[in-house]
Amino acid sequence: MSQPAPNTSKPLWHLDGLQALLTAGSLLNAIAFFAAMPFASIYLATHTPLSNAAIGAVVGGIALIGSVGGVLGGVLVDRFGAVPMMSLGLVAYTGIYVSLTVARETSVIVALLLGLGAARLFVEPGGKKLLSLAAGDDGRIFRVRYMVLCFGAIIGPAIGGVLYNVSVTAFFAVPALFYAGYFVLVLVFRKQLSFQESSGMEAGTHFPLRAAVRDRKLLAAIAAGFAIFLVFSQLESMIPLYIKGEWGQEAVGYFAGLFITNAVLALAFQVPIDWLSRKVSHNLLILIGCAGFALSFACFMAASTQGLVMLYIGIVFWTLGEGVLLPLPDIAIHEIATDDRKGTYFGLSECRYLGFFAGPFIGGLLLAQESVYFVVMALAIFICVPLLVSKGPAIATARSEKKEEAADADV
């Protein structure tokens, strides 16, 4: 499929019909996710006899199934099509949340929550594949997707926080409605979405899993994403513990303020970051993002002696680093994956979310020595630099190489 040249001069928010449709779907997905999942631990602690360790295992297991299972999901998306697989995942999401409105047995609740991870492994690779196909060569669409996630992270918890205190039925019914709406959107426009996918496929193509796991550029993008998420996970795991150690009972309020500031700034920063990405080289942009994270850890460490203001200065730098770096692995995968393997590539890339598991564990080991913790985390983000810097040929050449490799791949 011949892709149009990217028009990086157009505004970031300028979307065509299919791009707008898929972005709307991503928004429904984000609001549904953030309306329920941030409260999952509290719900389990209130409505089940599970220990804190067991609750952590259940909540972590949801993400683990989605990330590791994303490989299977991506393969199935390429094999059977994004629209059927996404429809299956969205029906599963809706059914699970509807079932949670009436579930009362601990074993049933746990099984249903873990099922959310299984639903994710169909929806995420399929959605990203379709978005990548609709975007052509302009990978900036994944910055738009990141903005949508930030917006969902603001709206979703506000909805969930209100409904959690109303009733369990209302709390779980809302994400069910959002996922049902997403399913209806896919169902209504299934012909256009299927055409978008099929127009980029050659007859007789198969999922190139073996070729994917041998693709060094893909593995580099996944490793970079793992390093980014390892560091990024500190904001929701170790930083709150650090604040608690410094400010005691006031920590909850302070962290809530930081979290809201981060979400709002993350949304607002994408347009200037997009402008910056067109003014500086790709490699310099990566270094700017890493420097943002590193400076944030320096500010957080200084807060223990310099006061609360350093936390908020730190969150500004943090959000700069986050806004620059978080979309880059998806943009890289968008650029290196040919149309016939986008589902597999995006599915395999879900493994980078394992950084959310390694990050809190490593951070927990280091936090006892605060100075060591902050220095290690400030340096760890630079692991992604050699993995993301531009070394290869232009995107068009890379796509041509991928097509030749696909023809020869033993699948």
- The percentage of residues in the chain with a pLDDT greater than 90, rounded to a whole number, is 44
Q: How many domains does the chain have?
A: 2
Residue 91 scores a pLDDT above 90: yes
Which is nearest to 229 in space by CA: 96, 329, 157? 329
Domain edge (last residue) among 141, 174, 199: 199
Distance of alpha carbon 51 from alpha carbon 239, whole angstroms: 23
Mark whether 281 and 404 lie in a shared domain.
Answer: yes
Average pLDDT over residues 12-26: 82
For residue 165, being part of any structural domain is answered with yes
For residue 217, being part of any structural domain is answered with yes
Residue 404 scores a pLDDT above 60: no
Distance of alpha carbon 296 from alpha carbon 317, whole angstroms: 5
Residue 63 scores a pLDDT above 90: no
Mark whether 46 and 98 lie in a shared domain.
Answer: yes
Domain edge (last residue) among 167, 199, 231: 199
Count Cα atoms within 13 angstroms, Cβ side, for 230.
Answer: 22
Which is nearest to 222 in space by CA: 385, 394, 345? 345
Overall residue count recorded for the chain in this entry: 411
Predicted confidence at residue 26, as pLDDT, reads 93
The answer to pTM > 0.85 is no
Predicted confidence at residue 88, as pLDDT, reads 96
* pLDDT band at 139; cut points 50, 70, 90: confident
Backbone φ, ψ for residue 219 (5° rounding)? -60, -35
| CA triple 295-289-33, angle to 5 deg | 105
Predicted confidence at residue 147, as pLDDT, reads 87
For residue 2, being part of any structural domain is answered with no
Mark whether 284 and 322 lie in a shared domain.
Answer: yes
For residue 4, being part of any structural domain is answered with no
Please name the amino acid found at residue 244: K
The answer to which of 156-165, 235-244, 270-279, 393-402 has the lowest mean pLDDT is: 393-402
Q: Which residue has the higher pLDDT, 137 or 40?
A: 40
Average pLDDT, the chain: 85
Backbone φ, ψ for residue 304 (5° rounding)? -65, -25
Q: What is the DSSP letter of 254?
A: H
Greatest mean pLDDT range, 38-42, 79-83, 223-227: 223-227
Whether residue 277 contacts residue 288, with contact meaning beta carbons closer than 8 Å, is answered with no
The answer to which of 155-159, 255-259, 352-356, 381-385 has the lowest mean pLDDT is: 255-259
* pLDDT band at 277; cut points 50, 70, 90: confident
Predicted confidence at residue 11, as pLDDT, reads 61
For residue 5, being part of any structural domain is answered with no
Predicted confidence at residue 9, as pLDDT, reads 54
Whether residue 155 contacts residue 31, with contact meaning beta carbons closer than 8 Å, is answered with yes
Predicted confidence at residue 13, as pLDDT, reads 58
Domain edge (last residue) among 146, 169, 199: 199
For residue 79, being part of any structural domain is answered with yes
Mark whether 118 and 263 lie in a shared domain.
Answer: no
Domain residue limits at 406: 206-411
Q: Other CB atoms closer than 10 Å to residue 201's CB: what's the count?
A: 15
